[in-house]
Each structure stands twice: as structure tokens, then as C-alpha cells.
Structure 1
């Protein structure tokens, strides 16, 4: 029986034809889509490509396509999306960035404070040891907060807010003044600054308050402002009476972040910002030293030996560092040239010793921290968690922006520390507690709790589980415990 095919001719059943929509890729079992690879060809499938030919068929020329490098780069977004889609990505990002900033902070406190500590205390490690003790206390607090349920934070806001108000009132009567500012309570070996835990108290109290109002349908601007605005104003007034403009700005950031997330109308923000600017102008005009600070900020080089001293020396330190810095520990500004090198202006010492590259690393870390916090706020459904996560992120990232902006000269000097990096236990402990809270909230993301349980407990969690202190992911598997 003849087939009707001349010698050397490919049978019709095996002839090649252009790919049409709906054709399956061999061994794939699904329609062809743009970007699907052709087996054994090593490049993406382009429109008009033939279906893979049998091995004994004559090869045909392929149409010219994109270069191999571009094809490889096209796979990167997919891998990045896979990474970002992991349930515990926010958790690990928060934990990793916080750890890096803390280690960097301890390193820079040691470098920036060693000269002053040697001159005043006779021990170059004095301030470093104190900061290390604060970190040793704060890390367990952060770990504990990361394992607490959301309900705890909702309940903790009210007593913490009340204690903050009491502490700020006490500062006015029994507080200790330093450099014209009355912000601390002397407790013997330590100084307590009540305005720092007030930030955490405001965001927890405000988040729970607005979450309850939103649940009850009370979303008109009058309902959103009462009693949140009077409570914030009371804290801000008490802080300003202690001459702490920087903390007042941070409290305002927390307040605005809460209103933004809850969906307050834009015209409300315009009115609030107008009142805030007017109040700031009044406070600057009525206090001579604040007016001098503004003058020193606007014309630092004309007041380089007076009100502009800190700004000028900070800029000199930043410029001296160049691209890669003088080297860790080799700062010149810390030799009594730059006031408060270990706290307000530690970013200038960092720029001098680690250079522009070091400052960009720190800015990137704070950017990642802000991204992780906002990611948590947008991926969870609990209104309280969304509000608290966004407010905590605004607090930490906003405070970093204000501090760095003051060091590089684009914002006035307000005296607030760089979170996790500057010296100061009163600022470090509430910040670590807030980060622990964000870690706890990150476990509320879709699939995060299941991923923790599937991963199993770590060594520390397994040890604590025997004491009945285990949290999510530390439950013993059936048949593995004692009988």
C-alpha cells in the first residue's frame, strides 16, 4: 500500500505549522502562553515559533529574538514575587533589619562616646556599657512582645497612656534639667524620660479607640477627633512644657498616621496641619532659645561658634568621611568638636567613619524597616493591628527622617535620637517594644501562623515549652511529650 509521499518528503502529519492560540506545548498539557519555553530550545516561545519538531526532521531557522541576558532578567520579578509572597517575609525582614540596626548602633555608640566617656568618667567604655545593659533589657522585652496576643496590646494602651501622663506631670515638678530642657526623672542609676513611652501609649490607645469607633460605624470627623485629639494635645502640651519639640513632632506624626489609616477626610488634615504650624510658630517666638536654633539652622556658618556650632561641625564630619569614611573609630569630630556625638548627631559620626556608603546603608535599613511595617499594616484584616502597625512605622521611620534631616541640615535640630542607633535607654526600650509588637502583628498575616507551626519551635522555644511558656509554633506534637 502506497502512502503517496515521495522520497525525502515529510508526511503531512509531521509537517510544521505556526503556533496558534490553544495549541498545547508537548508534555505540558496546557495552552501556549507568551513566555512558555519550547523543549530543548533554551529560550522563551515567541509568536510564530513552530511546535518542537521531531528529532529526525530538518532544522529550520528561528526568528531573531531578545538576547539571552534579557531573557534571564525576565525571571527575576517572578523570583522576587515568590520571595515577597512568603507568609513570614515581613517577620524575617523586621527581625533582620532591627538586629542589624541594633548591632550598628552599639558599635557607633562605642566609637562616638569613647572620648567623652574617658574624659568625664575615666572609662572609655562607660556609655557603651550602659547602652549594652539597655539592649540586654530591651531584647527580652522585644522577644516577649513578639509572642503576645493582639488583645494584650489593645488592653495595654489605656494604662500606658495614663502612666505616661502621670510621668510627664511629675517631670514638671521633680524633673531634672539638662541643657535647658526638663525631660528626665532621676531614679538614681538611671534617668527616665516619660515622653518616650508616651509614644507607644498614644499609638496603642489611639488605635484601639479608632478601631472601636470604626466597628460601630462612627467614622465622621467629629467622632474620629474626640477624644483622640484632646488626648494627643494633652500629651503634646506636657511634652512642650518640658521643652521637647522633637517628641511633640513625633506624637503629631503618630496622630496623623492613625487618622490617615482610619480614612479621615483630607480637609481634616489641612486643618490639623494649619493648627500645628501655628502652634509651632507661637512656641518658637515665645522661647528665645528656639528662635536661636532656627537662626542657627538657617544661617549655621554665620553662627558657627554659637547656635550653629552643632550643625556646622556635623556637616564638616559628614564631608570629611567622603565615600568610604576614615575608618571605624577614627572620627575627629568626637574629640570635643561635635556636641552630643553619641546621641543626637551619631549619624554625623557614622558618616565620618563609614562614609557616604555607610550612611546609605543606614538609610536603606530604615527604608526596609518602614516597608516591612507598612506591609504588615496592609496585609492584616484586624483594624486595630492595621492602625497600630501604621502608627508604629510612622513613629520609627518618621523619627529617623527628622534626626537624619537635622544632621544633614535640611531640617532644624530638634534633639531627638536616631532610633536603635543613638545612645539612650529611655528611647531604646520603647522602640524595641514597638518592634516586638510589629513582629507579633506580622504573625497575623495570611498563612504566617500555619508557616510557624509547620516550621516547628526553635531551641529556645522548645526549652520554654517545658515550662509552659510556649507560644504559637511551640505546641508539642502528639506522642512526643512525657507520659
Structure 2
């Protein structure tokens, strides 16, 4: 009887503890390892930050339009409009915001940096103009005089100032030398400018926006490298100001009272000062885990004030439940991760500072809004970015996200990838130019002495002169660059200028005698009657000089 395995080679024994894996398969990997490998593969791609930032912003804005429509239909009817009036207006503002995002993406980083001083001056003038009666308005409506109305145009200068201080701060603090004096340095000068602008916003009566603006200034100083002791001192000053507002009376003092009552679960006046916070808690409680369904909120039927603005997260929690609220928080956390990753990967200090501070300012505003809706913070009146109903605030926020996406487009790996393989599909659809590899400078008035014919692709591939060397040092070599343009490589054999395999030649082919770089002629050898051919040293490939070889005759050649 013959065994079925007879004649077959026996498989070699595996070492103890080894795992059997077939070539090209991942049968030995668990679920966790597969997910980790897939995530690392996504993060290693050059344009991941850019695509993820755009994708997250689009998702947040789209969710905002849907939730504004759901939360505002009853109030739109009560105001004499149609159920979709507020949602239609929000959609138009979001569309205008995406146009602003697209325009900002087309700007070069150096152009944005050049505009920083002018933007700062305009923002300060607008903050001063809103204090003038007849120009600034809004105190009777929302408790603060923070709006400017010019015909059909209605906007908040404080929203513009928040983005402006980020652009100017990154321009002013990027690339600065170490501090030479404890008090009189670039950090204190920037803090002084930010403090003046925050004071102007506070004089409008908008304490919440003033605190948010001060937080942006602190973020900029933190990312710029200021000592943590100064930030702790600033935090103490802000805390003292908050205690003063809590003890000063008025509606701000009532907000702190409601906050502490909610924190300990003891509402004193659910029909008066605590009405809005109490109704927000009831909305979140009704939502449970999965929500009551999109459009089925009961709180929006005139129970919850500002359902489409400040407390829209309560409507999200009621209609979409805990899962919907976690989705919103997860999207902002995603924006935080990829925004800070963009700042870390950037090699331009200006872009790095701007990306980090823009990310921190928008995400911190979102978490402040969510925090006071769920009772972790006092009510401040700050809207939920890209989701709450708003006019110019939605446009300015999306323009700020355009700045962040612009920073992601100019990461070194992204620039090199586009120089090698071309622009991605989204850039071709949006008709965006190829990003430049040049690092921005503070001296915006100085122009280059001569314009180079090299475009962004040539600059990324090496360019000419010092600019090409700096580009190669920052971005590496594109795979499509010609070999003669790569640093440290020799031209191909036989190409013009190649002398590595030519014997007895002192210059490249076609180089006239006496031209720069040509080797001088040798003196004629009187014993040969010809120019001293082959009289070079051993290192040049010629024969060594010496006496004539009597064994070979008088042929003019010399012994090697």
C-alpha cells in the first residue's frame, strides 16, 4: 500500500514561535494591525492633509445647512416667511463662503504675507468705526454694539479681526531671533496689539467675542514659542476678569449663576434666567442615543430660544442623538488633528504659525459652544463654526479654512508630489495653480533683481542657482527631474560638459581655446615637433614624461 504523500518533497520544519505567512497575503495580521497599516498608508501620502481638511470642512458646512433648515422652519413661519427662508439664506452664505475659500486658495503665500500689515490697519479702523453711533448697531438686538450695516451688507468687524490677528501675527513673529530683552521684545509688542484689539471688542459689549479673541492671541504666542510663564500670567488675568464679571451684576452675572446651578443640578429659575439652558438640557435628554429623527425636534417649536444659532447643538443632540453629537465632535477633532499636522509638516515658519493658530481658534470656538450647551461652561453667545446660522461669520470662517487648506497645499511633500505627478483632481476642477516652493520672507518690499523663467515645476525640480539648491534641500528630488538637474549627479556619458571618460581632453567638446573653463594649451615639445600630446601626468590619463625610449625608436613617444 502506497502512501498518498510518497514522492512529494517534505516541507521544511518551521522554527518555534514563527508564524506561517504566504507571499503577498496578510493572513497572519489581526484586525488591529490591518487598520493600523491602512491608517499609516493614508497618512504617508503627500496630499492627505489637504484633502482631509477640505473634506471635513465640506461635511461640517453641509451638516450646518441641513440643521439650520430643521431648526429654523418654525421661526421662519412666525416671522412671516416660508419654512425654508432661513435655510435658503444660510445656503447662499455657505456658497459665498466657498467662493471666498476658492479665492484664498489661489493666493500665493507671499501675497498673503504682503497683505498682513494692510489687513491689520483695516481691522483696527473697523473696530473703531463700530464704536461710532450711527455706524455701529446691534445693542438693542443682541446686547452688544458689534455690527456695521452698510446698505444690504451687515457684518461684524470682530470676526474679521480674529482672522487678521492670525495672519499678521504669523507674519510678525515668524523667523524672529531669540528674545534679547525680557519686557521689550516682539512677543510683548504683538501682545500689546492684540490686547488693544481685544479691548475694542470688549467695549462693543461683546465679552464672549473678546474672550475668544484673547484666546487666539494666546494660541499665537504659544505656537510662536513664548515662555509658558507669560501664558500662565495671561490666564490669571483672564480669570480675574471673569470673576469680576460674575460679581458685577447684570445679565453676565446671571449667566454665571445659571452655570453653577446647572453644574450642581439645581436650577433656581427655569422660567426666567435659566430658561434657555434648561430647555437645551431637555433637548439633549430627549435625543437619547439615536435621536428622535431628523426634523422631529419638539424644542424648536418656540421652546428653545436661538435654536438655529447659539444652541443648534442641542437640536443636533435631540434629532440625531448621542451619535449625531459625537459625529460633530469627531469632525472638529479631525480638523484639529490634520490642521496641527499641517503646521508640523510645514517648513515655512509663516505658514506653520498661521496653520496652527487658525486650527486652534476655530476648534476652540466650537468646543466652547458645545461646552456651554452641555453645561460645562457659562453661556458666552459664541456660535458653532460652519454649523450655526450666520451671515458674514460663515463667509469669514470658510475663508479662514481656505487659508488653512492653502497651508496644506504648500507642505514640502505636497509641492514635490505635484511637481512630479501633476495636480490632483480637485485642483484641476478648481483651476488652482501649482503651488510654489519658495519660502516667504518678511521683507515684502524687496523684489528679486531678476525674474527667473523657471515656473513652479522647474523650481521644485531644482531650478537654477541658489533657489534651486534651496528647493532641493527642502523638498528633495522629483522623480521626473532630469539627471543633469539633480544635486550631486554627473551628466550622462557623451553629454555636453562630460569629461569623466574623455582621455587627454582639457575642455568640453565645442569649447574654444582661451574660453573660461578651458584648459590652457601646453607648450610645443621641440623634440617631437608637435604640441606636447600625452605629456600630462599620470592622473590626467597621459603618459609620464621622461627620456626617449631607445627600444622604440625616435617616434616622439615617451616611456610610461
- Using the size of structure 2 for normalisation, the TM-score is 0.70
The structure-2 alpha-carbon separation of the partners of 1:79 and 1:72, relative to structure 1 and needing over 3 Å to count, comes to same
Instruction: Give SS of 1:258's match.
Output: helix
Equivalent position of 1:78 in the other structure:
37
Asked whether the equivalents of residues 419 and 456 of structure 2 are also in contact (C-alpha less than 8 Å), the reply is no
Per-residue CA distance 1:178-213 (angstroms, 9 max, x = gap)? 13222112233342111101100111111111115x
Instruction: Give the Cα–Cα distance (whole angstroms) in 1 for the partners of residues 270 and 180 of structure 2.
Output: 51
Instruction: Give the Cα–Cα distance (whole angstroms) in 1 for the partners of residues 49 and 456 of structure 2.
Output: 26
Structure 2 residue aligned with 1:163, among 111, 114, 122?
122
Instruction: Give SS of 1:447's match.
Output: helix
Equivalent position of 1:7 in the other structure:
none
Per-residue CA distance 1:234-280 (angstroms, 9 max, x = gap)? 11111111221221222122111111112111111111111122223
Equivalent position of 2:509 in the other structure:
none
> Bigger shift: 298-307 or 106-115?
298-307
Q: Does 1:139 align with 2:105?
A: no
Per-residue CA distance 1:366-395 (angstroms, 9 max, x = gap)? 000001110011111211111111110111
Equivalent position of 2:73 in the other structure:
114
Asked whether the equivalents of residues 154 and 204 of structure 1 are also in contact (C-alpha less than 8 Å), the reply is yes
Give ranges in structure 2 of 5+ residues lacking alignment.
1-6, 21-26, 437-454, 459-560
The structure-2 alpha-carbon separation of the partners of 1:346 and 1:221, relative to structure 1 and needing over 3 Å to count, comes to farther
CA deviation after TM superposition for structure 1 residue 430, in Å: 1.4
Asked whether the equivalents of residues 114 and 125 of structure 1 are also in contact (C-alpha less than 8 Å), the reply is yes
Equivalent position of 1:277 in the other structure:
239
Asked whether the equivalents of residues 161 and 202 of structure 1 are also in contact (C-alpha less than 8 Å), the reply is yes
Asked whether the equivalents of residues 158 and 201 of structure 2 are also in contact (C-alpha less than 8 Å), the reply is yes
Structure 1 residue aligned with 2:275, among 309, 313, 324?
309
Task: Let me know the Cα RMSD of the aligned residues.
Answer: 2.6
CA deviation after TM superposition for structure 1 residue 151, in Å: 1.2
Instruction: Give the Cα–Cα distance (whole angstroms) in 1 for the partners of residues 29 and 430 of structure 2.
Output: 50
- Using the size of structure 1 for normalisation, the TM-score is 0.81
The structure-2 alpha-carbon separation of the partners of 1:450 and 1:330, relative to structure 1 and needing over 3 Å to count, comes to same
Question: How many residues are matched?
Answer: 419
Asked whether the equivalents of residues 316 and 325 of structure 2 are also in contact (C-alpha less than 8 Å), the reply is yes
Structure 2 residue aligned with 1:426, among 392, 408, 411?
392
Higher alpha-carbon Rg: 2
Instruction: Give SS of 2:146's match.
Output: strand
Aligned pairs for 1:131-210 within 5 A: 131-173=90-132, 174-176=135-137, 177=139, 178-210=141-173
The structure-2 alpha-carbon separation of the partners of 1:294 and 1:436, relative to structure 1 and needing over 3 Å to count, comes to same
Instruction: Give the Cα–Cα distance (whole angstroms) in 2 for the partners of residues 229 and 61 of structure 1.
Output: 67
Equivalent position of 2:10 in the other structure:
57
Asked whether the equivalents of residues 245 and 253 of structure 2 are also in contact (C-alpha less than 8 Å), the reply is no
Equivalent position of 1:355 in the other structure:
321
CA deviation after TM superposition for structure 1 residue 328, in Å: 0.8
